């Protein structure tokens, strides 16, 4: 048997000597998957080091679960033992990611040999040892899956031959020139490498960038003599497309119960002509898998999904896992509901409010498996009918384990599905839901009014610890919330809140047409409910009302689709302004080439002015550099500079700028 050379034996027998720490982005030590986007650069950082002065090398690699083959990328040493690597996920779905590291004996040798040469005291074994180390590196490079591995290996072997023949500074310089090529070699000894593995869920573009439009189908009729139907929503698609929205969200479209039905303004009892709340799901015509007969048929819904898709619009449905007293499950599966001591089923309550028209499901039922399977079947059937986006009603009132299981099961068969969590609750609960698999989450934006709280909150969303998994979707209004800022500020407040939502967050939505038509009348002086709420009655909207914000919304959404800076949150930076009633920010894309500036007057009553300070260095500019900026809201153009710029915003006009830096 041929004896293994001492160097080869030492390389192969080496035990783990490298430490990997502080890997980012990792969620709760790898308990949950971090989020990624197909086609986006995914960055991994880590601290990697060894004892003594030894040089280490690290790679980041990824693969689909079940695959035996890794795709690898070298990690770059940034100094102070910090490493950075990146790759681009190309497919939607789960991903395994691993940081792997080992001692780099070739780099160690080259460093020491160079110092000895420069000192005029070369080691007589340097040439032999260096030649053999380079040959090992060439083997590792040839064994990698890189596209130019063979060609690179030949170049490395050529340098290795020169080093083995006669070590000199030129040979070492040639080796240094091949450092980028050598970085692509595979690990020399997989069994001896130190590794750190975590998971990611790769989502679609829609999961990270989306503009939502919510509307009630029964209010879509152009004929004031009848309620709207799904066919009217199809006719409405041209309007939604004109506004530039890419998600059309419909509240529940299922049969509505008649028992304990709510009347106008959430009153009881209902009158004979009252239509009830769409969230009181279930009746004689079926449950969660059926469509309310007054809205149309499954064929109508199929046409809606198809016609929306032709316009680049996804139809989102509401997953509201609750039942009316008339839901088929109430008689078929009474064990799925909570019962009072007298045997009656308990209605929903949020004391002092009672919702007699809704029975909450009991997730602690003795037939937990049956209930969970039924809810999975409901979600799956709508996914099979073409729904790829779900807005989930009150997920925080259901068990965490249920959502983790349901979302994983649906995404196993339909990986492009997007789930939005409608949970206005405690921060840690909202974050837990995001970790469990919800792609997007409602936020507290609706109740953030002042400059300091908006700045603090959106900085947290963009750069805080939740940035790896919590994707915000911000709404100025919803059917449940007529925010205080919209009740008293008139048109100026609607515009300000719109520009804040669409300019600060990659995903946002409005509840229309009441938003663009400036509905601002609450049910009472201390209420966030709408007077004449569409939750309980049918309306007919004049979309051509001259007061409408439709043109402004269309311009804003067009800018969002045209500028990549507005499609992500990582590039958000707030700007100093010498007026606390004016908030300003910049957004840059990952490459830093697309830059958008937002400026909003937070005072709906008075003209506000001040100086906005542009950070020249952050924009890659020199102080005083002239800038041509185009306001996408008004189509005006201004000459700014890198540094201080004066703004004056009048609430009687458009109290905001959304400025795009024109190419120099």
How many Å apart are CA 338 and CA 360, to the nearest integer? 8
Q: Are residues 181 and 295 in the same domain?
A: no
Beta strands in 129-262 (DSSP E): 194-203, 210-214, 247-250
User: Is 225 domain-assigned?
Assistant: yes
Predicted local confidence at residue 185, as pLDDT? 83
Q: How far is CA 327 from CA 3, 364, 419, in A?
A: 79, 19, 25
Predicted local confidence at residue 191, as pLDDT? 80
* Helix (H), strand (E) at residue 588: strand 582-588
Predicted local confidence at residue 158, as pLDDT? 75
Q: Is the pLDDT of residue 5 over 70?
A: no
Question: Residue 426 CB: number of other CB atoms within 10 A?
Answer: 10
How many Å apart are CA 18 and CA 2, to the nearest integer? 31
Predicted local confidence at residue 664, as pLDDT? 64
Distance of CA 396 to the CA centre of its chain: 19
The token duo for 230 is: 């799904």
Q: Are 656 and 633 in contact (CB under 8 A)?
A: yes
Q: Spell out the residues 6+ positions from residue 286 whose beta carbon is closer than 8 angstroms to its own.
A: 254, 255, 328
The average pLDDT across 452-456 equals: 98
Could you give the percent of the chain with pLDDT greater than 90?
78
Strand pairing class (348-350; 440-441): unpaired
Q: Are residues 215 and 127 in the same domain?
A: no
- pLDDT classification of 572: cutoffs 50, 70, 90: very high
The average pLDDT across 494-508 equals: 98
Predicted local confidence at residue 243, as pLDDT? 98
The average pLDDT across 81-99 equals: 96
- pLDDT classification of 152: cutoffs 50, 70, 90: low
Q: Are residues 221 and 318 in the same domain?
A: yes
pLDDT in tens, 266-288: 999 999 999 999 999 999 999 99
| Exposed / middle / buried, residue 586 (Cβ in 10 Å: 0-12, 13-18, 19+) | buried
Q: Is the pLDDT of residue 401 over 50?
A: yes
User: Is 541 domain-assigned?
Assistant: yes
The token duo for 3 is: 């004896």
How many Å apart are CA 646 and CA 517, to the nearest integer? 32
**Sign of CA pseudo-dihedral 641, 643, 648, 649:** positive
Q: Which of 434, 510, 436, 491 is closest to 465 using CA atoms?
A: 434
Q: Which of 618, 604, 344 is closest to 492 using CA atoms?
A: 604
User: Is 1 domain-assigned?
Assistant: no
Q: At what angle do helices 149-165 and 169-177 cross, to 10 degrees?
A: 170
Q: Given 561, 591, 625, which residue is the final one in a domain?
A: 561
Q: Are residues 556 and 578 in the same domain?
A: no
Higher local confidence (pLDDT), 192 or 194: 194
Predicted local confidence at residue 160, as pLDDT? 67
* Helix (H), strand (E) at residue 623: none
Question: Residue 583 CB: number of other CB atoms within 10 A?
Answer: 25
Higher local confidence (pLDDT), 55 or 511: 511
Which of the residues are catalytic? 393, 422
Tell me the helix, strand and coil percentages in the chain, rounded to 5: 35, 25, 40
- pLDDT classification of 17: cutoffs 50, 70, 90: confident
Q: Is the pLDDT of residue 10 over 50?
A: no
Q: Are residues 399 and 514 in the same domain?
A: yes
Q: Spell out the residues 6+ positions from residue 353 whose beta carbon is closer than 8 angstroms to its own.
A: none
Q: Is the pLDDT of residue 369 over 70?
A: yes
How many Å apart are CA 274 and CA 272, to the nearest integer? 6
Q: Are residues 365 and 227 in the same domain?
A: yes
Could you give the percent of the chain with pLDDT greater than 70?
96
- pLDDT classification of 565: cutoffs 50, 70, 90: very high
- pLDDT classification of 7: cutoffs 50, 70, 90: very low
- pLDDT classification of 236: cutoffs 50, 70, 90: very high
CATH number of the domain encompassing residue 631? 2.60.40.1180
Predicted local confidence at residue 319, as pLDDT? 98
The token duo for 17 is: 């000597």
Predicted local confidence at residue 622, as pLDDT? 86
Q: Are residues 391 and 531 in the same domain?
A: yes
- pLDDT classification of 598: cutoffs 50, 70, 90: very high
What is the model's pTM? 0.93
DSSP 334-348: GGGB-B-TTSPBPPE
How many Å apart are CA 448 and CA 178, to the nearest integer? 54
CATH number of the domain encompassing residue 102? 2.60.40.10
Q: Given 500, 527, 561, which residue is the final one in a domain?
A: 561
Beta strands in 3-67 (DSSP E): 18-24, 34-37, 42-50, 56-63
Residue 589's domain spans which residues?
Answer: 572-661
How many Å apart are CA 66 and CA 131, to the nearest integer? 39
Interior/surface letters 232-241, b for 16+ CB within 10 angstroms, e for the rest: bbbebbebbb
The average pLDDT across 346-350 equals: 89
Predicted local confidence at residue 621, as pLDDT? 83
CATH number of the domain encompassing residue 304? 3.20.20.80
How many Å apart are CA 566 and CA 579, to the nearest integer? 25
Peptide bond into 166 cis (omega under 30): no
Angle, CA of 161, 164 and 170, to the nearest 5° = 80
Q: Are residues 627 and 516 in the same domain?
A: no
Beta strands in 215-320 (DSSP E): 247-250, 314-319
Q: Is the pLDDT of residue 465 over 80?
A: yes
Q: Given 539, 561, 583, which residue is the final one in a domain?
A: 561
Q: Are residues 40 and 179 in the same domain?
A: yes
Q: Are residues 579 and 552 in the same domain?
A: no
Q: Could you give the number of structural domains in the chain? A: 3
Q: Is the pLDDT of residue 85 over 50?
A: yes
Q: Is the pLDDT of residue 11 over 50?
A: no
Give pairs for 1-7: CB < 8 Å, separation 24+: 5/132, 7/129, 7/132, 7/133
User: Is 301 domain-assigned?
Assistant: yes
Q: Is the pLDDT of residue 16 over 60?
A: no
Predicted local confidence at residue 98, as pLDDT? 96
Q: Is the pLDDT of residue 479 over 60?
A: yes
Q: Is the pLDDT of residue 140 over 90?
A: no
How many Å apart are CA 479 and CA 493, to the nearest integer? 18
* Helix (H), strand (E) at residue 161: helix 149-165
The average pLDDT across 546-560 equals: 98
Average pLDDT, the chain: 92
Q: Which of 100, 55, 48, 52 is closest to 74 using CA atoms?
A: 100
The average pLDDT across 369-384 equals: 98
User: Is 567 domain-assigned?
Assistant: no
User: Is 566 domain-assigned?
Assistant: no
**Sign of CA pseudo-dihedral 294, 297, 303, 306:** positive
The average pLDDT across 65-89 equals: 94
Q: Are residues 179 and 216 in the same domain?
A: no
Q: What is the DSSP secondary structure assignment for residue 273, as one 8-state letter?
A: T
Q: Are residues 492 and 458 in the same domain?
A: yes
Q: Is the pLDDT of residue 402 over 90?
A: yes
The average pLDDT across 634-644 equals: 95
For residue 582, what are the β-bridge partners?
601
pLDDT in tens, 525-550: 999 999 999 999 999 999 999 999 99
């Amino acid at each position: 048997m041929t004896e293994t050379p001492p160097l080869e034996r030492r390389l192969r027998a080496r035990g783990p000597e490298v430490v990997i720490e502080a890997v980012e982005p990792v969620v709760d030590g790898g308990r949950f998957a971090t989020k990624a986007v197909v086609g986006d650069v995914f960055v991994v950082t880590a601290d990697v080091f060894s004892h003594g002065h030894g040089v280490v090398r690290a790679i980041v690699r990824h693969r689909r679960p079940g695959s035996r083959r890794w795709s690898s990328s070298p990690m770059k040493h940034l100094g102070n033992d910090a490493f950075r690597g990146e790759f681009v996920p190309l497919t939607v779905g789960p991903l395994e990611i691993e940081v792997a590291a080992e001692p780099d004996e070739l780099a160690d040798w080259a460093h020491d040999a160079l110092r000895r040469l420069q000192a005029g005291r070369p080691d007589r074994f340097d040439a032999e040892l260096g030649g053999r180390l380079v040959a090992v590196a060439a083997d590792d490079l040839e064994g990698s899956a890189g596209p130019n591995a063979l060609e690179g290996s030949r170049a490395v072997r050529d340098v290795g031959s020169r080093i083995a023949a006669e070590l000199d500074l030129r040979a070492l310089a040639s080796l240094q020139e091949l450092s980028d090529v050598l970085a692509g070699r595979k690990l020399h000894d997989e069994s001896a490498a130190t590794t750190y593995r975590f998971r990611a869920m790769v989502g679609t573009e829609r999961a990270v960038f989306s503009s939502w439009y919510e509307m009630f189908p029964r209010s879509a009729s152009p004929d004031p003599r009848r309620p709207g139907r799904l066919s009217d929503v199809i006719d409405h698609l041209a309007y939604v497309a004109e506004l530039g929205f890419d998600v059309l969200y419909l509240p529940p479209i299922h049969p509505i119960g008649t028992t304990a039905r709510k009347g106008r303004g959430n009153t009881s009892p209902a009158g004979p002509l009252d239509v009830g709340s769409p969230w009181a799901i279930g009746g004689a015509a079926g449950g969660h898998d059926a469509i309310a007969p007054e809205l149309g048929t499954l064929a109508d819904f199929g046409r809606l999904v198809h016609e929306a898709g032709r316009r680049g619009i996804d139809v989102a449905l509401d997953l509201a896992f609750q039942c009316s007293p008339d839901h088929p499950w109430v008689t078929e599966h009474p064990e799925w509901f909570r019962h009072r001591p007298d045997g009656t089923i308990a209605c929903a309550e949020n004391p002092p409010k009672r919702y007699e028209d809704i029975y909450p499901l009991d997730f602690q039922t003795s037939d937990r498996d049956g209930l969970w399977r039924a809810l999975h079947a409901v979600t799956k059937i709508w996914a099979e009918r073409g729904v790829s986006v779900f807005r989930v009603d009150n997920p925080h009132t259901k068990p965490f384990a249920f959502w983790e299981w349901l979302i994983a099961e649906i995404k196993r068969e339909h990986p492009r599905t997007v789930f939005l969590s409608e949970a206005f609750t405690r921060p840690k609960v909202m974050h837990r839901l995001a970790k469990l698999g919800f792609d997007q989450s409602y936020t507290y934006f609706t109740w953030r009014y002042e400059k300091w709280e908006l700045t603090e909150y959106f900085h947290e969303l963009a750069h805080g610890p939740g940035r790896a998994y919590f994707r915000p979707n911000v709404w100025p209004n919803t059917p449940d919330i007529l925010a205080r800022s919209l009740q008293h500020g008139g048109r100026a407040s609607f515009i300000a809140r719109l520009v804040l939502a669409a300019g600060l967050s990659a995903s946002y939505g409005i509840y229309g047409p009441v938003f663009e038509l400036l509905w601002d009348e609450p049910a009472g002086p201390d209420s966030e409910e709408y007077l004449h709420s569409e939750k309980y009655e049918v309306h007919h909207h004049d979309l051509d009302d001259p007061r409408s914000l439709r043109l402004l919304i269309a311009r804003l959404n067009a800018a969002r689709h045209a500028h990549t800076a507005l499609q992500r949150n990582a590039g958000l930076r707030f700007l100093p302004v010498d007026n606390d009633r004016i908030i300003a920010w910049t957004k840059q894309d990952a490459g830093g080439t697309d830059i958008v500036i937002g400026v909003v007057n937070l005072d709906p009553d008075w003209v506000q002015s001040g100086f906005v300070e542009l950070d020249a260095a952050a924009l890659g500019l020199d102080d005083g550099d002239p800038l041509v900026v185009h306001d996408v809201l008004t189509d005006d153009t201004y000459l700014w500079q890198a540094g201080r710029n004066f703004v004056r915003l009048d609430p009687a006009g458009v109290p905001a700028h959304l400025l795009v830096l024109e190419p120099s």
